[in-house]
């Protein structure tokens, strides 16, 4: 079990960057075993390769900020909201009136769906894609126009263009997409946004932005700066490891931000905001995580190449590959080894979404997968 690792074993399993930031912080290694690879998973402590989380956990600076926030936890957190908004604005070089903070980016997907329903609009979106906004919209009674991804499995903007109707008032584009970690080519996306934002709000969900290393990719924040009818959402749930702590960011023109906050229900948590304030400035840790993610990708690409299995190059912290057998069967088999893999994504029922955790864990996955299915 990871919790029984000695300090020496732990240090051997991490990079110099992580180890040095650990030592600098003066935190005992025993408190940091979360960073150690889980190479002996159990039913109680499985390898979590199913939810696109960050298995390294939060940066030490974020943890310290969250612990220290206990002293102020009795206070309403209004000052912290503005402080975090200020930081997010500075990091993106955008005026702070263009920034909103939420309890996860889901808060903004939900609000966008609510406004679209109130306006009586249809929702145009690709399929498969991240499901929340479609689910919310359906519950609110909105009509959905779902456009299948192309033969290359990327979001098909031309098909979306053809599917557009005058009733569409909200368009959702997840970039990189999930469960298929493809990106939309930057110029094609800009053109699409310029064409349709006069008619509909376009929400670009950039949850996996930090992991992208692809010259054909660009954030659409620059279009937000031009006051276009565009919302860009980001989340601290992925590279910042805040999935259970809940911080999301929304970039949009001040009219949209004001509308979003007309539904403000004080969901914001002081500790989470203090943690995020520290985490977003811990560039060393973010670089360490990006490096580890690449190492994980390499390990799984090799396994897939060795086995002759088809996959999409990843632009995120997960892979999507064709197992040639039902993903449910893969999930059941791997679960026996205490490794959790993604659920089934229709219509790609033979494709597995594998969230990348730590290289050592991915090597274990590869070894077991080859043994079971090779």
CA 182/CA 215 separation, integer angstroms: 13
Does 54 contact ligand PLP by CB under 6 A?
no
Rg of the chain, C-alpha, whole Å: 21
Contacting residue, 243, 307, 309, 368, with ligand PLP by CB under 6 A: 243
Q: Quick one: 69 or 203, whose CB is closer to ligand PLP?
A: 203
Task: Using DSSP, state whether 102 is helix, strand or coil.
Answer: strand
Q: Nearest-CA neighbor of 170 among 113, 225, 254, 118? A: 113
Indicate the residue whose CB is closest to ligand PLP: 104
Does 130 contact ligand PLP by CB under 6 A?
yes
Q: Quick one: 197 or 235, whose CB is closer to ligand PLP?
A: 235
Q: Nearest-CA neighbor of 49 among 276, 306, 299? A: 299
Which range, of 24-32, 104-112, 187-195, 290-298, touches ligand PLP by CB under 6 A?
A: 104-112
Q: For the beta carbon of residue 311, count every other beta carbon within 10 angstroms.
A: 19
Task: Using DSSP, state whether 176 is helix, strand or coil.
Answer: coil
Query: Which residues are bridge partners to 312 per DSSP?
Result: 320
Beta strands in the chain (DSSP E): 47-49, 99-102, 122-127, 144-148, 168-174, 201-205, 230-235, 248-251, 311-312, 318-322, 339-341, 351-355
Smallest gap, in angstroms, from Cβ of residue 251 to ligand PLP?
Answer: 14
Does 340 contact ligand PLP by CB under 6 A?
no
359 with 320: CB under 8 angstroms?
no
Residue written as tokens 């009586």? 120
Smallest gap, in angstroms, from Cβ of residue 72 to ligand PLP?
Answer: 24
Does 273 contact ligand PLP by CB under 6 A?
no
Contacting residue, 125, 168, 174, 221, with ligand PLP by CB under 6 A: 174
Please tell me the number of Cα atoms within 13 Å of 272 on its side-chain side.
22
Contacting residue, 237, 315, 327, 341, with ligand PLP by CB under 6 A: 237
Tokens of 254: 């001040």
Which range, of 38-46, 103-111, 154-162, 263-271, touches ligand PLP by CB under 6 A?
A: 103-111
Contacting residue, 37, 100, 248, 342, with ligand PLP by CB under 6 A: 248
Contacting residue, 106, 269, 327, 341, with ligand PLP by CB under 6 A: 106
Task: Report the site for ligand PLP in 195-214 (rule: CB under 6 A).
Answer: 205, 207
Contacting residue, 105, 116, 297, 357, with ligand PLP by CB under 6 A: 105
Q: How many residues bind ligand PLP (CB under 6 A)?
A: 13
How long a stretch of residues is the chain?
Answer: 374
Does 38 contact ligand PLP by CB under 6 A?
no
Q: Which residues sit at the interface with ligand PLP, rule CB under 6 A?
A: 52, 104-106, 130, 174, 178, 205, 207, 235, 237, 243, 248
């Amino acid at each position: 079990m990871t919790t029984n690792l000695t300090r020496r074993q732990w240090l051997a399993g991490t990079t110099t960057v992580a180890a040095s930031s650990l030592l600098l912080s003066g935190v005992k290694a025993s408190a940091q075993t979360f960073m150690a690879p889980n190479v002996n998973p159990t039913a109680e402590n499985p390898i979590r390769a199913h939810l696109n989380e960050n298995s390294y956990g939060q940066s030490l600076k974020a943890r310290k900020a969250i612990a220290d926030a206990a002293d102020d936890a009795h206070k309403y957190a209004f000052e912290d909201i503005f402080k975090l908004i200020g930081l997010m604005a500075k990091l993106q070089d955008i005026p702070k009136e263009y920034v909103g903070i939420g309890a996860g980016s889901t808060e903004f997907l939900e609000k966008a769906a609510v406004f679209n329903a109130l306006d009586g609009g249809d929702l145009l979106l690709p399929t498969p894609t991240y499901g929340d906004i479609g689910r919310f919209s359906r519950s609110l009674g909105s009509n959905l126009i779902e456009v299948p991804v192309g033969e290359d499995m990327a979001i098909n903007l031309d098909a979306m263009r053809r599917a557009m109707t005058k009733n569409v008032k909200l368009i959702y584009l997840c970039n990189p997409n999930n469960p298929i970690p493809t990106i939309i080519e930057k110029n094609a996306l800009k053109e699409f946004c310029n064409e349709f934002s006069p008619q509909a709000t376009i929400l670009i969900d950039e949850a996996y932005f930090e992991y992208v290393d692809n010259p054909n990719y660009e954030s659409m924040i620059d279009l937000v700066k031009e006051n276009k009818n565009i919302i860009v959402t980001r989340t601290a749930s992925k590279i910042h490891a805040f999935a259970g702590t809940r911080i999301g960011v929304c970039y949009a023109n001040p009219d949209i931000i004001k509308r979003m906050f007309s539904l403000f229900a004080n969901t914001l948590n002081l500790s989470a905001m203090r943690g995020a304030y520290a985490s977003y400035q811990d560039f060393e840790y973010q670089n360490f995580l990006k490096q580890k993610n690449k190492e994980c990708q390499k390990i799984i690409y090799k396994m897939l190449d060795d086995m002759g299995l088809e996959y999409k190059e990843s632009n995120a912290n997960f892979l999507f590959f064709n197992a040639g057998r039902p993903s449910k069967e893969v999930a059941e088999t791997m679960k026996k080894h205490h490794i959790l893999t993604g659920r089934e994504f229709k219509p790609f029922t033979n494709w597995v979404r594998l969230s990348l955790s730590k290289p050592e864990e991915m090597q274990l996955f590869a070894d077991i997968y080859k043994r079971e299915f090779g």
